[in-house]
Structure 1
Amino acid sequence: MHLMKTLIHSAAVLAFSVGAAAAQTVSIATLPQGSVWNTMGNVIAGAVREHGNVRMVVQPYGGNLAMMQAVNQGLAEFSINDVNDVIVAFAGEVDYRDNAQSGLRIVAKLNALPVGLYVRESLGIERIEELKGKRVSSGWDAFPLAKSHVSAILTAGGLTYDDVVGVPVPGLIRGSDDLVSGRTDAAFFAVGGPKVAEVDAAVEGVRFLKIESDASALERIQAVRPAFYFSEVTPAPFRVGIEAPMMMVTWDNVLVAGAHVPDETVHALLTAMAEAKDALGEAYPPLRAFSVETAYVDYPGVAYHPGAVRFFEENAVAKRAF
């Protein structure tokens, strides 16, 4: 009840708080069209424009490095990313070595995102371990984030990249296109991605491969990135390639802002998203998981934007343990 009263109060003062945000258009950096993040970015932009008068445009970039650099350098105000990548980007580790993106700030957890390797149904395999000796997308020069994702998925099945035949691809969409053309046997994507549905129609059926999810497997994937975990995914119309309940490697999608973004702009965006919660879920079902009450998570090694902190404190939302 307190939360609802506070949200009503926030909505009442939105015209004032959004003033700075409405005076200029803000942008959200995403991956290219067909990706989950691009879809989410477009849905968020449309919803907050309608429900909060926050003018947001979607700016696609070739990969996660370019997205984070755009936000860090002030070329974009917001982005959506795997929290694992934000952690290493902020610290200047892995793909960001000697290039720390210290201007990144967390705004909110959006939803959990299960990912996997998927194949043509006609290949006749069902588990990751059956990929041994098969052709799998690799390289990822434009989307280096995928290296850790695919490595975690493979290790959950007891494999490494040394056990498969790597087929270099620059980015996410190309990897799936190569599955259609027959250049690869397995491609990487997030569950619910529009591109997976496109590939499914083109090759007359795809399936995500099953993995192990016991304590040993969890230890292995968290050795790749500490904020990976397992979640159960059930069949749904938008989850193409999921034929039965299965465990999958998962991370949290987070909304990111640059430290340069005014507190009022971040506060106004979160207020608009809270008002648009139902519309977000109707436009893109995975966003039904977004909730103000669960959006404030204590992730290791990253800081929240002050505008987000003020929003959560005003709405009596306590930071949740990861």
Structure 2
Amino acid sequence: MRLAKYLLTAGLALGIAAPAAVPASAQVLSIATPPQGSVWNTMSSVIASQARENGGLRMVVQPYGGNAQMMQAVNDTVAEFSLNDVNDVISALEGSGEYQAAMPNLRVIARINPFPVGLYVKEDSGLKQVADLAGKSVPAGWDGFPIARSHITAILAAGGLTWDDVDKVPVPELIRGSDDMASGRVDSAFFAVGGPKVAEIDASVGGVRFLAVDANQDTLAKIRAVRPAFYFSEVTPAPPRVGVKEPMMFVTWDNILVAGAHVSNEQVKSLLSVVFDSKDAIGKAYPPLRALDLETAYRAYPGLEYHPGAVAFFEERGVELSAAE
């Protein structure tokens, strides 16, 4: 709460946050994200750019140190929107997992895309499957990016391993984890498919590859015991999907756009109109966002509530609420 009050006070001092003094169309709306270089920051930057160019919205991207900080910013009215893993939003709303207190002001506004994640290694390591990491080092700790702990737990489970089967090497956060793999400090790194950092590491070490998992009903039960909205999806090779050498199954979640309960219906509807009416331009700017699909964007998730502005938007577009994956 102290962080939220400080940021809000600083924003007011700079003249960027005075919602009562200006019309909605003139307000500066912010999307809270993880640090630059992360996939969420990249996707949010593309969406914000389209919002400014085609939606007439004054939208900025505000990076934070990690998911907990960006969820708190939305919950505490410091930021209007965020893009996050649906599982993490469920935890934030409940005050479970890495969250010490519930954040009741978070509202879903749309499913954006499936988000496959994995552990990747140097191509010359000889490792091909997650199971091959038995006795090898895996990034652990994640004090600056605690959401990774559950994700890697699920990936290891999908390879038939637990943390007891690997050598745990502490890393603080996402970008540093990949840098440590490149330097040889740790054998593997965690990232999303299509992440800019993966392409950077690929170029610096002469090639990387994601490790395969065993996608079956047994491992599906194991990953859902970690987070309830995990599922498996197939990813095929493509230039933006660095490290995907053949069609592979990945532990996957849905990225969702989140708004604070304080955000107006008009602002939510305006942003959603930009996202889905400009989806071709958004997908061209960042290929993983080609998965944007209005017909699959209104999906139910356990324990999460849709913002009334989003409900009105989908009803006006004739889209019905669908069941979770």
Q: TM-score scaled to structure 1, two decimals?
A: 0.92
Name which of 43, 47, 70 aligns with 1:44. Answer: 47
**Greater Cα shift, 51-60 or 188-197:** 51-60
Distance 1:162 1:29 in 2: 35
**SS at structure 2 position matched to 1:108:** strand
Residue 254 of structure 2: aligned partner: 252
**Per-residue deviation, 1:271:** 1.2
**Per-residue deviation, 1:22:** 2.3
Please tell me whether residue 25 in structure 1 is matched to residue 61 in structure 2. no
Please tell me whether residue 207 in structure 1 is matched to residue 209 in structure 2. yes
What count of residue pairs does the alignment treat as equivalent? 303
Aligned structure 1 segments of 4 or more residues deviating by more than 6 angstroms: none
**Per-residue deviation, 1:108:** 0.2
Please tell me whether residue 64 in structure 1 is matched to residue 67 in structure 2. yes
Residue 127 of structure 1: aligned partner: 129
**Per-residue deviation, 1:115:** 0.3
1:96-144 CA distance string (max 9 Å, x none): 13x1111100010000000000000111110001101111111111111
Distance 1:225 1:172 in 2: 19
Residue 154 of structure 2: aligned partner: 152
Residue 107 of structure 1: aligned partner: 109
**Per-residue deviation, 1:272:** 1.6
Contact preservation (8 Å) 1:26, 1:76: yes
Distance 1:311 1:206 in 2: 42
Q: Which AA in structure 1 matches 2:190?
A: F
**Per-residue deviation, 1:277:** 1.1
Structure 1 unaligned residues grouped into runs of 5+: 1-18
Contact preservation (8 Å) 1:21, 1:268: no
Residue 221 of structure 1: aligned partner: 223
Name which of 128, 141, 156 aligns with 1:139. Answer: 141
- Once the two structures are superposed, the pairs formed by residues 273-288 of structure 1 within 5 Å of their partners are 273-288=275-290
**Per-residue deviation, 1:20:** 4.2
Name which of 180, 186, 190 aligns with 1:178. Answer: 180
Residue 239 of structure 2: aligned partner: 237
Identity fraction in percent: 63
Contact preservation (8 Å) 2:144, 2:172: yes
Q: Which AA in structure 2 matches 1:105?
A: R
Distance 2:56 2:182 in 1: 41
Distance 1:284 1:20 in 2: 31
Distance 1:275 1:186 in 2: 39
Contact preservation (8 Å) 1:118, 1:188: yes
Distance 1:29 1:254 in 2: 13
- Once the two structures are superposed, the pairs formed by residues 283-294 of structure 1 within 5 Å of their partners are 283-294=285-296
Name which of 63, 83, 99 aligns with 1:96. Answer: 99
Contact preservation (8 Å) 1:20, 1:265: no
Residue 306 of structure 1: aligned partner: 308
Q: Which AA in structure 2 matches 1:36?
A: V
Q: Which AA in structure 2 matches 1:198?
A: E
- Once the two structures are superposed, the pairs formed by residues 255-274 of structure 1 within 5 Å of their partners are 255-274=257-276
Distance 1:135 1:20 in 2: 54
Residue 6 of structure 1: aligned partner: none
1:48-87 CA distance string (max 9 Å, x none): 2111111210111111111101111111111010000101
Contact preservation (8 Å) 1:48, 1:276: no
Distance 1:114 1:21 in 2: 36
Distance 1:121 1:303 in 2: 43
**SS at structure 1 position matched to 2:40:** helix
Contact preservation (8 Å) 2:26, 2:57: no
Greater relative CO, 1 or 2 (CA 8 Å, sep 6+): 1
Distance 1:162 1:20 in 2: 56
1:9-28 CA distance string (max 9 Å, x none): xxxxxxxxxx9442111000
**Per-residue deviation, 1:178:** 0.4
Distance 2:259 2:144 in 1: 22
Contact preservation (8 Å) 1:20, 1:264: no
Distance 1:117 1:208 in 2: 6
Q: Which AA in structure 1 matches 2:206?
A: E
Distance 2:164 2:30 in 1: 40
Q: Which AA in structure 2 matches 1:221?
A: I
Q: Which AA in structure 2 matches 1:37?
A: W
Contact preservation (8 Å) 1:179, 1:186: yes
Q: Which AA in structure 2 matches 1:88?
A: S
Q: TM-score scaled to structure 2, two decimals?
A: 0.92
Distance 2:264 2:35 in 1: 27
**Per-residue deviation, 1:239:** 0.2
Q: Which AA in structure 1 matches 2:34?
A: L
Q: CA RMSD in A?
A: 1.0
Distance 2:182 2:41 in 1: 21
